[in-house]
Amino acid sequence: MTSHQIVSVVPGSPAERAGLEPGDIVKQINGVELQDIFDYYYYEDEPVLTLLLIKPDKREVTLQLEKEEGEDLGLTFENGLMDDYKSCHNKCMFCFIDQMPPGMRDTLYFKDDDTRLSFLQGNYVTLTNMKTEDLQRIIAYHLAPINISVHATDPELRCKMLHNRFAGDILEKIQMLADAELEMNAQIVLCKGVNDGAALEKSIEDLLSFYPYMQSLSVVPVGLTKFREGLYPLEPFEQADAREVLATIHKWQDISYAKHGTHFVQASDEWYLIAGYDLPPEERYDGYLQLENGVGMLRLLMDEFRQALSEEKNHLMLRRREVSVATGRLAAPYIQMLCDEFMEKFPKITIHVYPIRNDYFGEQITVSGLITGQDLIAQLQNQPLGSRLLIPQNMVRMEEQDFLDDVTLAQVSLALQVQVDIVKSSGQDFVKLLLE
């Protein structure tokens, strides 16, 4: 029950007014024993609360308080879930964690498949760790949206992909959630020669049948590192493969749009870059429902960048200078395009765009979020960087200010002898930093 222990109380909150303090353990609310954060959120919503606390000296104390209905109690707990994190029992053929090199920090090797994180952080979960009573609890609390890693709706194929003989009941579980009118989003990690082709068609058709409760579906290509010895033999998608995948997705987008007025299934940005196609326009993304899954990130960045650039007036006092931008190899042509447009409007600023090759995980990994500090240093060491180096936010852990290999932002700055600035996710921030 230490996970129910309070670590902080918001000043002026109902909890502080009632006398709750850091170190107290919340055992019950209104007579209900708390299991996890879901119970806490559900029962703290009431306007009148009776709390059973365990004080640091082990005394049990009962407190009563009143607050506005829906007002936050004002507590932060030692563990964000108020319970242990549930690890994944699947052995998916495409699991990225199984492809990690040795010697990285311990947290990078933890496989979570905790449905609670789907609501709290937007994580995608397989539902294979859930019993019927767990689903019924979600339904009773009406927790939504829930993000589901489907990968394949064919029972036999899903069991094979997740290496779990109990994984084949995904459509039954989705049906339970749809019957309860809970909103869902789904994703498919596509593996060449496994769940593409006819299998992908079936998965899209099956999931679309649950619309509007199944709101959207994203399809992303499997990420393959160089550390795959002993794992299921998977091959990267080539240009012709990506074009075939996009043809399937575009076909079902048209079917869905004609029937429901939404495109429903979305291709992650990588598919268009691998295929050599232009990115779709903004309206094709249905409000960017799957943005955090890499769907529409580049389109949104480009549109925001161009809008912000058009609103900038000529800076007559602008001094001549150089800056540099580091990014993943996949997005580099688009970043270069934006920087060229910027330099055309502001010719006194020279921008060097550097696509970083991923030597750490292997050259098949081309996204910026998996670039390490050591690759950044090695490839930029003797390059002209100007007065500042800009990198995207997803390269670093923001709080710790370090990369996946634990190299810190300060170490990169020192090694390259340049100020390193982080571009937040918006195009406006990109333009602003280029002008500063």
Domains 2-77 and 97-290 equal at CATH topology level: no
pLDDT at residue 120 greater than cutoff 60: no
Task: Report, as an integer, the average pLDDT of 361-374.
Answer: 92
pLDDT at residue 86 greater than cutoff 70: no
Task: Output the CA–CA distances (angstroms, integers) from residue 360 to 94, 107, 337, 354, 363, in the order listed.
Answer: 19, 18, 27, 17, 8
pLDDT at residue 84 greater than cutoff 80: no
Q: What is the pLDDT of residues 134-165, one digit of tens each?
A: 788 888 878 778 889 999 999 999 999 999 99
pLDDT at residue 339 greater than cutoff 60: yes
Q: What is the pLDDT of residues 198-240, one digit of tens each?
A: 999 999 999 999 999 999 999 999 999 999 988 999 999 999 9
Please tell me the predicted confidence (pLDDT) of residue 316.
62
Please tell me the predicted confidence (pLDDT) of residue 110.
59
Residue 36 to residue 18: CA distance in whole angstroms: 22
pLDDT tier, 83 (very low <50, low <70, confident <90, very high otherwise): low
Class of domain 301-435: alpha beta
Please tell me the predicted confidence (pLDDT) of residue 374.
96
pLDDT tier, 398 (very low <50, low <70, confident <90, very high otherwise): confident
Task: Single out the residue of 106, 131, 105, 134 nearest to residue 119, CA to CA.
Answer: 134
Instruction: Indicate the average pLDDT of the chain.
Output: 89
pLDDT tier, 323 (very low <50, low <70, confident <90, very high otherwise): very high
pLDDT at residue 418 greater than cutoff 90: yes
pLDDT at residue 2 greater than cutoff 70: no
Task: Report, as an integer, the average pLDDT of 11-38.
Answer: 88
**97-290, superfamily in CATH?**
pyruvate-formate lyase- activating enzyme (3.80.30.10)
% of the chain beyond a pLDDT of 70 = 93
More confident residue, 421 or 45: 421
One DSSP character per residue, 325-383 reads EEEETTTHHHHHHHHHHHHHH-TTEEEEEEEEP-TTT-TT---GGG--HHHHHHHHTTS
Please tell me the predicted confidence (pLDDT) of residue 345.
92
Q: 31-45, 141-155, 375-389 — which is least confidently predicted? A: 31-45
Task: Report, as an integer, the average pLDDT of 78-99.
Answer: 77
pLDDT tier, 175 (very low <50, low <70, confident <90, very high otherwise): very high
pLDDT at residue 3 greater than cutoff 80: no
DSSP type of residue 166: T
Q: 130-134, 378-382, 413-417 — which is least confidently predicted? A: 130-134
Task: Output the CA–CA distances (angstroms, integers) from residue 186 to 132, 166, 174, 281, 325, in the order listed.
Answer: 20, 19, 10, 22, 33
Q: Give the start-to-end residue ranges of the domains of the chain.
A: 2-77, 97-290, 301-435
Q: What is the pLDDT of residues 41-65, one digit of tens each?
A: 778 888 888 989 999 999 998 988 8
Task: Single out the residue of 423, 327, 409 nearest to residue 368, CA to CA.
Answer: 327
177 with 213: CB under 8 angstroms? yes
Q: Does domain 2-77 have CATH number 2.40.50.100?
A: no
Residue 425 to residue 282: CA distance in whole angstroms: 16
